[in-house]
């Protein structure tokens, strides 16, 4: 397998990888419904924020420019490690309204540890020529950011492509022409149900570089074990929020279950701080509690994989069992295993 553990040196301290970056909604026009986890989950001092959204929220941006810190705004410890992406997903169907220099300025004002370069995600609805133009523009933006960036924060180049050859070529081009601390693979969310394709794209990126590899948007409970097996170093997720909105209860090792389908249990099968003393009905009726539980589930999934690796257990046997209940993910894992074995 390609699973690996490393230490990423950031301005706010070392970060042990692989690691999850929970998406924080702060800066969005909607309310920030991310649970307070910094003091309750000891191995989760990370957060993903949208630099564009924060800059466009005038009251908050004014406070930050006047001397407030984003960590104070979020109510998290001063050593929390922040990954500020460019807000590229906002450009999915809209015109780009920023530049690499402006985005770097914003990320610097946020005192982020990791900057994601300005990117234009792809869409299955676009013609191939349009997606190709977006790939080329995202690549140019990354090079421009590399030429401009001169701070201590880490710079991750955002990479897009809907075939392995393109992804590999883009990463190798950026390696030759830019100076990046890692790469962040995007445009995965629209094709997330095509596990085989996603697997091949990630492996193409992993083959092309030994640097840190982040995958945007696929840190949910089903994808995590596959990403870890493929050598992904970090990932972000808002699945814990979105699932709670649908009253979907995440269970490590299994996936999600809609709580309205469960009637006969008094307590749910989880001993996290949210669930251990609360009834099913209490959690079902409280979206905030469900969101917090779901985040605990994502962390537990990662802890479980780390434990299996540290204890010397056969990871492939564990994943054979982990994916046995779903034919689609089981097939994707088989393909991944074949390709990984050719690489190792």
In tens digits, what is the pLDDT along the chain, a chain of 344 residues? 899 999 999 999 999 999 999 998 765 544 446 777 777 888 899 999 999 989 988 898 999 999 999 999 888 899 999 999 998 766 655 678 889 999 999 999 999 999 999 999 998 888 889 999 999 999 999 999 999 999 999 999 999 999 999 999 999 999 999 999 999 999 999 898 888 899 999 999 999 999 999 999 999 888 999 999 999 999 999 889 888 888 899 988 778 888 888 888 888 888 899 999 999 999 989 988 999 999 999 999 999 999 999 999 899 998 988 888 778 778 888 888 888 887 76
Identify the pLDDT of residue 257. 84
Find the farthest-apart pair of alpha carbons in the chain and give their distance in angstroms, rounded: 60
Tokens 């099968």 belong to which residue? 269
User: Within the chain, how many helices (H) and strands (E) appear?
Assistant: 13, 12
Identify the pLDDT of residue 133. 93
State in Å, rounded, how far the first CA of the chain is from the last one: 7
Output the six-digit token pair for 322.
């982990």
Identify the pLDDT of residue 28. 54
Cα–Cα distances in angstroms (integers) from residue 307 to residues 3, 17, 300, 303, 304, in the given order: 13, 14, 10, 6, 5
Q: Report which of 169, 199, 197, 194 is spatially closest to residue 183, judged by C-alpha positions.
A: 169
Q: Provide DSSP, 24-64.
A: P-TTSSS-------TTT-TT--EEEEEHHHHHHSHHHHHHH
At CB < 8 A and 24+ separation, what contacts does 6-13 make? 6/212, 6/233, 8/154, 8/212, 8/233, 10/81, 10/113, 10/114, 10/153, 10/154, 11/111, 11/113, 11/152, 11/153, 12/78, 12/79, 12/80, 12/81, 12/82, 12/113, 13/79, 13/81
Identify the pLDDT of residue 31. 47
List the domain boundaries for the chain. Answer: 6-237
The continuous run of DSSP H or E covering 20 comes out as strand 19-22
State the Cα–Cα distance between residues 49 and 312, nearest whole angstrom.
Answer: 35
Identify the pLDDT of residue 115. 98
Q: How many CB atoms lie within 10 A of CB 75?
A: 12
Tell me 254's DSSP state. Answer: T
SS (H, E, C) 88-144: HHHHCCCCCCCCHHHHHHHHHHCCCCEEECCCCCCCCCCCHHHHHHHHHHHHHHHHH
Identify the pLDDT of residue 184. 98
Superfamily of domain 6-237: Queuine tRNA-ribosyltransferase-like (3.20.20.105)
pTM, to two decimals: 0.93
């Amino acid at each position: 397998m390609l699973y690996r553990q490393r230490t990423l040196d950031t301005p706010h301290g070392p970060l042990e990888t692989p690691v999850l970056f929970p998406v924080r909604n702060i800066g969005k026009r909607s309310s920030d419904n991310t649970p307070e986890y910094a003091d309750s989950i000891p191995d989760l001092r990370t957060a993903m924020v949208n630099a564009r959204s924060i800059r466009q929220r005038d009251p908050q941006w004014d406070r930050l420019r006047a001397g407030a810190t984003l960590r104070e705004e979020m109510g998290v410890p001063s050593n929390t490690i922040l990954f500020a992406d460019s807000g590229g997903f906002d450009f999915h169907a809209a015109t780009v309204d920023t530049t690499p220099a402006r985005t770097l300025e914003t990320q610097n004002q946020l005192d982020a540890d990791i900057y994601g370069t300005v990117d234009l995600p792809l869409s299955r609805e676009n013609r191939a020529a349009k997606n190709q133009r977006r790939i080329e523009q995202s690549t140019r933006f990354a090079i421009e950011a590399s030429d401009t960036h001169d701070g201590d924060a880490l710079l991750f180049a955002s990479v897009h492509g809907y075939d392995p050859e393109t992804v590999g070529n883009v990463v190798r081009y950026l390696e030759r022409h830019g100076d990046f601390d890692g790469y962040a693979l995007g445009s995965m969310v629209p094709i997330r149900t095509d596990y085989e394709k996603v697997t091949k794209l990630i492996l193409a990126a992993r083959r092309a570089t030994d640097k840190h590899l982040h995958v945007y948007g696929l840190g949910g409970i089903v994808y995590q074990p596959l990403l870890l097996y493929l050598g992904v170093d970090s990932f972000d997720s808002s699945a814990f929020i979105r699932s709670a909105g649908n009253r979907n209860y995440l269970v490590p090792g299994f996936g999600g279950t809609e709580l309205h389908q469960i009637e006969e249990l008094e307590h749910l099968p989880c001993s996290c701080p949210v669930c251990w003393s609360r009834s099913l009905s209490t959690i079902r009726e409280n979206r905030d509690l469900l969101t917090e539980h779901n985040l605990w589930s994502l962390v537990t999934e990662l802890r479980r994989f780390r434990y299996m690796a540290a204890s010397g257990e056969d990871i492939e046997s564990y994943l054979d069992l982990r994916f046995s209940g779903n034919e689609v993910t089981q097939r994707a894992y088989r393909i991944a295993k074949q390709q990984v074995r050719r690489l190792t």
